[in-house]
Amino acid sequence: MAEGPEPASEDFSICTDELHEGIESSSSKFADDTKLGKAQQRLKERYRLGSLLGRGGFGSVFAATRLSDGAPVAIKRVPQNRVHHWGELLLEWVELPNDILMVLERPEHCQDLHHFIRARGFLSEGVARQLFHQVLEAVWHCTSCGVLHRDIKPENILVDLATGQAKLLDFGCGTYLQEAAYTHFAGTPSYSPPEWTRFGWYYGEPATIWSLGIVLHQMVCGEHPFRRDQNISWDHQLSLPQRLSPECQDLIRQCLSMLDVERPSLEEVFCHPWMQDIHLP
């Protein structure tokens, strides 16, 4: 996991041969490097590289196919100086002189939650409840493993269009969970809690609950609860559509409490009345 500056927005204009060129460039500079030669050969023997999928502040991601069984994978190219802590990777990695290539799972027939919501305007409470519960379970698993994601937003949640299963992605801003306050922010500014904006610190769980509240609002309302670049005042009154059930409105308001001590814990969110009667895919 990386502890670094806030990731930049995705840029799809770069050449799709970037990964190939990066490998070839490294190879020409380090022709006598046996380790590099073996790494490059292993990559070519196991995977067929495809097109660029996207690029963010922590690296570029390319489509690929595992030759042994035809499984779709994603290969992420990350500069070595952006990686400070290592956890377990899903499939494997290849180390180059200046970069690390991470081979990751690439689910097909999926859509990120941002586009999933936008295509529908907003989600019914039933659909939102199922997806939100799965996101909560993913966040709960992360925290139980001592990991703080720090960039929970619809763009980082993948929805399987066939099964309705949701997955939490992109741990580039993740760090180790700690009891003390964090004084460094990594993530998307529009999902940062008000205590960070005003005081320059935040605690892991309350900040996570704040971002989850924004995600839930986006699910059932179709939009971010706060306008872009808007400074959230401490007396801000959140306006919610009357069509939402009282239970749904209550959960959103609790998660978006201005005071971090007034936000519910993850366990309390799970136990909230709106989260009951879940029918998972």
- In this prediction, residue 31 carries a pLDDT of 42
Q: Do 125 and 75 share a structural domain?
A: no
If we measure between CA atoms, which residue out of 255, 279, 257 comes closest to residue 124? Answer: 279
Q: Do 114 and 94 share a structural domain?
A: no
The torsion angles phi and psi of 254, rounded to 5 degrees, stand at -65, -45
Q: Which two tokens stand for residue 131?
A: 């997806």
Q: What dihedral do alpha carbons 201, 204, 207, 211 form, nearest 10°?
A: 140
Where residue 72 falls (left for φ over 0; alpha for ψ -120 to 50; beta otherwise) is beta
Q: Do 154 and 248 share a structural domain?
A: yes
Task: Evaluate whether residue 154 is within a structural domain.
Answer: yes
- Counted domains in the chain: 2
If we measure between CA atoms, which residue out of 163, 164, 168, 132 comes closest to residue 149? Answer: 168
Rounded Cα distance between 65 and 88, Å, is: 21
Q: Do 50 and 167 share a structural domain?
A: no
- In this prediction, residue 87 carries a pLDDT of 47
Q: Do 115 and 192 share a structural domain?
A: yes
Residue 128: other Cβ atoms inside 10 A:
22
Rounded Cα distance between 61 and 69, Å, is: 21
Task: Evaluate whether residue 6 is within a structural domain.
Answer: no
Q: Do 158 and 90 share a structural domain?
A: no
Whichever domain contains 180, its CATH number is: 1.10.510.10
Q: Do 194 and 180 share a structural domain?
A: yes
- In this prediction, residue 256 carries a pLDDT of 96
* Tens digit of each residue's pLDDT (9 = 90 or more) over 98-114: 666 767 666 667 889 99
Task: Evaluate whether residue 28 is within a structural domain.
Answer: yes
- In this prediction, residue 6 carries a pLDDT of 36
Q: Do 224 and 181 share a structural domain?
A: yes
Q: Do 268 and 132 share a structural domain?
A: yes
Write down which residue in 43, 74, 105 finishes a domain: 105
Q: Do 242 and 123 share a structural domain?
A: yes
Whichever domain contains 31, its CATH number is: 3.30.200.20
Task: Evaluate whether residue 242 is within a structural domain.
Answer: yes
Exposed, middle or buried: residue 263 (CB in 10 Å: 0-12, 13-18, 19+)? buried
The structure's pTM equals 0.70
Exposed, middle or buried: residue 271 (CB in 10 Å: 0-12, 13-18, 19+)? exposed
| Angle (deg, nearest 10), helices 204-221 and 246-255 | 140
Q: Which domain holds residue 27?
A: 18-105
Write down which residue in 81, 105, 129 finishes a domain: 105
- In this prediction, residue 35 carries a pLDDT of 57
The answer to whether 113 and 166 are in contact (CB under 8 A) is: yes
Q: Do 161 and 29 share a structural domain?
A: no
Task: Evaluate whether residue 231 is within a structural domain.
Answer: yes
Q: Which two tokens stand for residue 41?
A: 């050969």
Task: Evaluate whether residue 2 is within a structural domain.
Answer: no
Ranges of residues in the chain whose predicted pLDDT is under 50:
1-17, 23-32, 86-89
Distances in whole angstroms, Cα of residue 253 to Cα of each of 190, 203, 217, 262: 17, 19, 9, 10
Q: Which two tokens stand for residue 129?
A: 């409840």
- In this prediction, residue 76 carries a pLDDT of 76
Q: Do 101 and 116 share a structural domain?
A: no
Write down which residue in 76, 105, 134 finishes a domain: 105
The answer to whether 240 and 246 are in contact (CB under 8 A) is: no
Contacts of 275 (CB under 8 A, 6+ apart): 129, 132, 133, 136, 251, 269
Residue 125: other Cβ atoms inside 10 A:
17
Task: Evaluate whether residue 281 is within a structural domain.
Answer: no
Rounded Cα distance between 69 and 157, Å, is: 26
Task: Evaluate whether residue 236 is within a structural domain.
Answer: yes
- In this prediction, residue 71 carries a pLDDT of 83
The catalytic residues are 151
